[in-house]
Amino acid sequence: MNTAEVIIKTAVNIPWLDVAAKSWQVARKLWHGLADEGMYEVLEYESRLELKDRHGRIALFSKREKVRYRQNNIIAYQDHAWGDGQILQDYKCTPGVVVDRYRPGHKIFLLISLREVKQRGDEDEFHMEWGIENGFVRPHELWETEIRHRTRQAKVQVIFPKSRPPQRAWVEAVLHRRRHALGEDNKVMLPDGRVQISWHNPKPQLNERYQFHWEW
């Protein structure tokens, strides 16, 4: 057998299809990993919805997000909101400055200029606050939190007026169709007589929508 025949026979015996298939699988995993990485990850998420009157006409929403950037040269941050009534009343955000607001559907998006360039590994802690008018006027209401970025932990609080505490409350994971009742362990009586119900998720699922329901 000459040298050319040896080379051809060896090439035929190599499992090229298996090697190519495995390489493709690795490449796809790497590509999807980079695509799903996102602009930043949320290290801590805390939000609070405060119902100011027993009719649900006036409410104040605030949240804190500690984020770590996963890409270089980030100059803007995006916030969003949706819900019944008049939302985003007297919107405030620190750090950053709101430079644009648009509504492609039922959600309102806000573009926040960071006024500086962030690099991969940098961290920021954002504080947002806005008012809501006529947003919670029904006996059964809800507040939804959507996990749009990889999030380490999430905590949601709803504070009810002293004159109208909730009869019951629960959390639903919409995509996974799971419900979790919120009982006495989740309830705290504040010094001024108002009731606060908290829900904490140490490992929220990406793209899941968590709905905090209550009847009052």
pLDDT number for residue 105? 85
pLDDT number for residue 5? 52
- Identify whether 95 is preceded by a cis peptide bond (ω within 30 of 0): yes
pLDDT number for residue 160? 98
CB atoms within 10 A of CB 136: 23
User: pLDDT (tens digit, 0 to 9) for every residue of the chain, 216 residues total?
Assistant: 655 454 445 544 545 445 444 444 433 443 344 444 589 999 999 999 999 999 999 999 999 999 999 999 999 999 999 999 999 999 999 999 999 999 988 899 999 999 999 999 999 999 999 999 999 999 999 999 999 999 999 999 999 999 999 999 999 999 999 999 999 999 999 999 999 999 999 999 999 999 999 999
CA distances to 38, 68, 124, 160, 194 from 148, rounded to whole Å, are 9, 14, 17, 27, 31
pLDDT number for residue 1? 60
pLDDT number for residue 37? 58
pLDDT number for residue 17? 43
pLDDT number for residue 20? 43
Q: Which residues pair with 59 in a beta bridge?
A: 51, 132
